[in-house]
Structure 1
Amino acid sequence: MTEYLSDLTQRLHYSLPTAQLIESKMPLTPWLKLWLLNDSNMDRPFSPEEVRVIWEAPPYWCFCWASGQIMAKYIEEHPETVRDKVVVDFGAGSGIAAIAAAKFGAKRVIACDIDEDAIMSCKANAELNNVGIEFSDDFFELIQKMDTPDIILAADVLYDRDNIPLLTELRKNCQSILMADSRVKNLDVDGYQAFSEGHAETLPPLERFDEFKHVIIYAAQGTAKE
């Protein structure tokens, strides 16, 4: 067990003391692997304490949500999206979009997430896929220290509708944006246009999230130079 995986497993055990992470190939992108929750741990009743901890600090980074999978598949099919570019994966979660960007020729990739556990997940998954990625827990501090990134990737960041105003802020700090989302079906934010879609299942499967299998990909031009 690597250092990153050991630390990640420890963090998981704060929420689910008996849970284990397993190396999982992504069905849509079998060249990409992630450390995900062993779904056998889902097939049992949870204790009241586990339920409390899961609700207060859900270990979302040990699932791979549909939007991230569709984003990675899109990058595989359209590598020119990231090739030779500086890429920031905003709200990286497990790091699937950042890993795909690194695999398909990005010049520099930074996985950014405010959650310390998610950053550790990104580190473990980058190591698993043998790609070089940088990490940040503060997007706006990161942007102040670097030249304007060529593209921001954002997958499944609208789980909370209060995050929608962030989409305008993101446009101010990049040349272009690619966003994948399965929750907001009729996004009405200036500059964002839906142009592709796909279907994927959350891994490990969560049946109550069936309605989130349909993913829409949006693109927007950044306004950093305006």
Structure 2
Amino acid sequence: MSTAFVLAHTSLVPVPLVPEVRLRLADEAIELWQYTEKFAGGVQLPPPFWAFAWAGGQALARYVLDHPQLVAGRRVLDVAAGSGLVAIAAVKAGAAHVTAVEIDPLAVTAMAVNAEANGVSLDVRLEDVLPGDGGDAEVVLAGDVFYSREMTGQVLQFLRRVTARGADSLVGDPGRAYLPKEHLEFVARYDVPVPQTLEDTPVKRTTVWRPVL
């Protein structure tokens, strides 16, 4: 049933900055949000972030594809994976195993649908991994996760634990209000095409960062 919902309210299109990947994306955020609330039938679901290629994820996916040595032959974890864009890019770049996690059941469905559309195998999970340390992942990736004070605090603590056990990590961010620059090291920058209805601009200057914790 959730697969039918994803297919009914999205179209399969190339990602602007990452045309090697095609995703099921929505045209209109407010309309989809209303459909999601109706579909949920009173059950509280997160906003449908999974239906859009956010700038942070696009930049991070582009970087991974352009620098496959980061993930090639390694176990990768994509946190707050949304559509699965970054996870799919990691598979295409040669990762040995990619796990994509979300706390939204519709996002998990969308990731599975998008993985199939791109002919890749993803381990998709409905799980909050932020209280942990990323398990056995050798590389942890997170796109566009600094959108609230609470989320930023949780992500930073998580990345500290990831770093402490020796794993690599990268984040992508278009300058969100709670971006913790003092804990990040510049890696790369991209001008990312984005839906103007979401970002109030057709292009977002977006940076890939390496946590320094």
Question: TM-score scaled by structure 2?
Answer: 0.81
Report the CA distance between 1:152 and its aligned residue.
0.5
Report the CA distance between 1:51 and its aligned residue.
9.1
Is 1:178 matched with 2:170?
A: yes
Report the CA distance between 1:144 and its aligned residue.
7.5
Structure 1 stretch displaced more, 107-116 or 156-165: 156-165
- Partner of 2:152 in structure 1? 164
- Partner of 1:218 in structure 2? 209
Amino acid at match of 1:29: V
Report the CA distance between 1:221 and its aligned residue.
6.0
CA separation of 1:208 and 1:91: change in aligned 2, threshold 3 A: closer
CA separation of 1:186 and 1:160: change in aligned 2, threshold 3 A: closer
Q: Secondary structure at the match of 2:121?
A: coil
Within 2, Cα distance between the matches of 1:134 and 1:52?
24
CA separation of 1:216 and 1:113: change in aligned 2, threshold 3 A: same
Amino acid at match of 2:11: I
Listed one character per residue, the Cα deviations across residues 15-34 of structure 1 (whole Å, up to 9, x for unaligned) are xxxx6311101222221100
Does the 8 Å contact 1:136/1:142 carry over to 2? no
- Partner of 1:197 in structure 2? 189
Listed one character per residue, the Cα deviations across residues 145-178 of structure 1 (whole Å, up to 9, x for unaligned) are 943x111000011122221122232231351110
Q: Secondary structure at the match of 2:206?
A: strand
Amino acid at match of 2:121: G
Report the CA distance between 1:207 and its aligned residue.
5.6
- Partner of 1:134 in structure 2? 123
- Partner of 1:16 in structure 2? none
Does the 8 Å contact 2:192/2:204 carry over to 1? yes
Amino acid at match of 1:50: Q
Let me know the Cα RMSD of the aligned residues. Answer: 3.2
Q: Which has the larger radius of gyration?
A: 1
- 1:88-103 alignment to 2 at 5 Å? 88-103=77-92
Report the CA distance between 1:211 and its aligned residue.
8.5
Listed one character per residue, the Cα deviations across residues 47-80 of structure 1 (whole Å, up to 9, x for unaligned) are xx939949x7421111111111111111111111
- Partner of 1:3 in structure 2? none
CA separation of 1:80 and 1:144: change in aligned 2, threshold 3 A: closer
* Alignment: residue pair count: 202
Does the 8 Å contact 2:57/2:172 carry over to 1? yes
- Partner of 2:5 in structure 1? 10
CA separation of 1:211 and 1:145: change in aligned 2, threshold 3 A: closer
Within 2, Cα distance between the matches of 1:207 and 1:32?
21
- Partner of 2:42 in structure 1? none
CA separation of 1:194 and 1:77: change in aligned 2, threshold 3 A: same
CA separation of 1:67 and 1:186: change in aligned 2, threshold 3 A: closer
Q: Secondary structure at the match of 1:206?
A: helix
Question: TM-score scaled by structure 1?
Answer: 0.76
Does the 8 Å contact 2:59/2:206 carry over to 1? yes
Structure 1 stretch displaced more, 135-144 or 88-97: 135-144
Report the CA distance between 1:188 and its aligned residue.
3.4
State, as a whole percentage, how many aligned pairs show the same letter.
Answer: 29
CA separation of 1:25 and 1:143: change in aligned 2, threshold 3 A: same
